[in-house]
Amino acid sequence: MARFRHSEALILVYFAYVAAIAPFFIDLPWRALALGLGIAGAVFAVSQRDNVVRDWLPLLATLAAYREMDWFTGPKRGSLERAWIGWDRWLLDTAGLRAAIESTGAILPGYLELCYLLVYAVAPVALAILFLNDCRAHLDRLWLAYLAATLGCYALFPYFPSDPPRIVWPNQDLPSVTTLMRSVNLAIVGGYGIHSSVFPSAHVASAFGAAWGLLATLERRRWIGWGMAFYGLSVAIATVYGRYHYAADAGAGMVMSLLGLAAAIQTPRRVPQA
């Protein structure tokens, strides 16, 4: 596997893992095997040369991994959600988080909803930042940090079947301020979201994973990485305030992102060539 980048090796391991556990969770496990073989074939093909397709393949693999998790949707027991909702209500009501956010009118609610919407662009933006700073040779570190955090969350979804609080408790604990960005977010998660699990929050983990990757690669411009980390914190707050996730999900996503930090620290900065 010497010709593979570290991020490519992680992709192969992840899809092999999902194919291995699929028979225990879904009715048609051959689909996970077929997808894994397809992803493996794509990784083998692009690993033969160093080009832009190879640089962007991890993003396509992440999207495939996300959609694959919808196959693992099963019956929900509700015990997890009942345990998590108490913490949320303490944070939003007793500790006053919702009131503090909405004291700014539509400003903070709109900002948080925008942060939640933009999380889908985190990986492309982080990669573009790397290219604009002439650091393409170090992109393996960035991808590894992002993938370790994001795929690490997906790997746990089958073991924590759960639905978001806005679904389990409709019309309860919702924001009092409705913005255009919230309407867009609800349309996206309603039409294109997956339904297997919300724990841990991959939204939060991916944002922080990108932050750790940028901190590890842009050593002379660490403010960019710290800026992404602040954005990740905003996403974490947005997921709870908007009732897209429980606070437990957001906290677990932050913890899972530390896998990305550890991976970035342990990985050589330069991209292994084909």
pLDDT of the residue at 264: 81
Contact 152, 258 (CB under 8 A): no
Segment among 30-34, 98-102, 214-218, 225-229 with least mean pLDDT: 214-218
Segment among 61-70, 195-204, 215-224, 236-245 with least mean pLDDT: 215-224
Average pLDDT of the segment spanning 69-90: 90
Q: In this predicted model, what pLDDT tens digit does every residue of 134-143 receive, in sequence order?
A: 888 889 999 9
- pLDDT range class, residue 272, cuts 50, 70, 90: very low
pLDDT of the residue at 135: 84
Share of the chain above pLDDT 70, in %: 96
pLDDT of the residue at 49: 82
Q: What is the DSSP string of 242-258?
A: TTSS-HHHHHHHHHHHH
Residue 267 has pLDDT above 80, yes or no: no
- Predicted TM-score (pTM) of this structure: 0.93
Q: Say which residue, 263 or 2, is predicted with more confidence.
A: 263
pLDDT of the residue at 273: 47
DSSP alpha helices (H): ranges in the chain? Answer: 6-21, 30-46, 52-68, 79-89, 97-102, 107-118, 122-132, 139-156, 165-168, 180-192, 202-217, 222-241, 247-266
48-57, 62-71, 162-171, 173-182: which is most confident? 62-71
